[in-house]
Structure 1
């Protein structure tokens, strides 16, 4: 074998090992380098447009559960659940995470102008019925609730411009009791928000459901898979050390 043929063979073996490593973690290595576009703004760092994954990792699942618990602990419980079906309104699936990041920036700016910091988390998915979409949990201060209601649809309209289709934005409250002594309502809230998190994590290995203490928290079975591009899950920056306030 010539020296050049030997070098080519070594490179091919190296590529095979790399591709197997990518495949093990559900990452698609077959993307064009020129298509990689790190997303600017908020909504999660390292949001790379060209990379795809098929399922959530255990670490991502644990982080979302911990963020849910931490948000309540610091007095900013997730009390608003949104689903935004970006592809329904013409957003390319490769830009699903980027659109979510733009939404988070708009919401954060709106909150900041009213003296609040936005705590949030989102997971992106894809399905035959809805196309590429995201599920979000946010905290909305009770005094801002009346003003917040119409804002998600307005922000989404600005992002998709003329392509907005009805019901692209779906928003619902997850009521948190204002009275700390209302234990029955507190238990009901915790069950409901855990159900939302369970729903957001359905593209996770089925074995994790019991391991994370979420077995039976929601009706949808885990173990699904769906191809998404860019960051699959994002949580507000610095959430682990956020003291609240």
Structure 2
């Protein structure tokens, strides 16, 4: 971590911050950065993260997936790629079936990445798929994009290009920590803490026991998912971090 301190530490001054994905006050407890990953989490490296079979089902994030998400998010923040936007896509409402969810997410991120390169930068992203009884299948995506890149009108085109049917409520992008122009000019701890809080929100599919250990405000809320549940771009994966797998 850099001199700015650990953005995942659930200290009192960060506990009451509200973000696009977190409307709850954090409980005191163990810091995310103190969570030890097992060697098996290195199987999650690569574009898109966990290499689950397309027919494999899961009801939540495993401990190794939680650890890998924490490490990828911490590396992104420590290297100046603060997540600026939280993109939620209710792809089930867009007509994407459970077995096609991971493919759909990969497709929309590939389109976003292509646009980021056109604008002289690169995409950094972290994502987790979930299923809720009242919302159906959806995905939460944290994005770091070139400072001048705008998403207005593009997210709908990307969703449709990936096979989804657009309708109100399918997609929503929220700026993390305030107006985009303000947070791009303000790279202090406040902005980083907001991004870290949203990253914590993505862990709500962790088991209740892991949620208790990490002092998460919500846990055990993942729902059954077919195929790949979580992932990240290669630029914050284990290879980019210089982690060598022993497996």
Normalised to the residue count of structure 1, the TM-score between the two structures is 0.70
Aligned position for 1:158: 161
Q: 1 or 2 for the larger relative contact order (CA 8 Å, sep ≥6)? A: 2
Is 2:240 the counterpart of 1:242?
A: yes
Aligned position for 2:8: none
Aligned position for 1:69: 74
In the TM superposition, what whole-angstrom CA distance separates every residue of 1:171-190 from its partner, at most 9, and x where no partner exists? 0111445244x4xxx23x23
| Count of aligned pairs between the two proteins | 190
In the TM superposition, what whole-angstrom CA distance separates every residue of 1:79-126 from its partner, at most 9, and x where no partner exists? 110110111011111111110000111011111122211111110011
In the TM superposition, what whole-angstrom CA distance separates every residue of 1:140-176 from its partner, at most 9, and x where no partner exists? 22222xx333322221122235x32212011011144
CA apart distance, 1:238:
4.5
Over 3 Å counting, the alpha-carbon distance change for 1:99 and 1:174 in structure 2 is same
CA apart distance, 1:51:
1.0
Contact 1:43 1:102 in 2 (8 A): no
Q: Secondary structure at the match of 1:62?
A: helix
Over 3 Å counting, the alpha-carbon distance change for 1:75 and 1:152 in structure 2 is same
* Aligned equivalent of 1:107, options 108, 112, 127: 112
Select between 83-92 and 170-179 the one with higher mean Cα deviation.
170-179
Higher Cα radius of gyration: 1
Contact 1:44 1:101 in 2 (8 A): no
Structure 1 runs of 4+ aligned residues shifted over 6 Å read: none
Partners of 1:67 and 1:230 lie apart in 2 by 20
Is 2:184 the counterpart of 1:167?
A: no
Aligned position for 1:20: none
The CA RMSD measured in Å over matched residues stands at: 2.3
Q: Secondary structure at the match of 2:138?
A: strand
Over 3 Å counting, the alpha-carbon distance change for 1:53 and 1:142 in structure 2 is same
Select between 89-98 and 149-158 the one with higher mean Cα deviation.
149-158
Aligned position for 1:228: 225
Contact 1:55 1:226 in 2 (8 A): yes
CA apart distance, 1:69:
1.5
Partners of 1:201 and 1:126 lie apart in 2 by 14
Q: Mind listing any 5+ residue stretches in structure 2 that lack a counterpart?
A: 1-46, 178-182, 242-247
* Aligned equivalent of 1:92, options 86, 94, 97: 97
Contact 2:122 2:145 in 1 (8 A): no
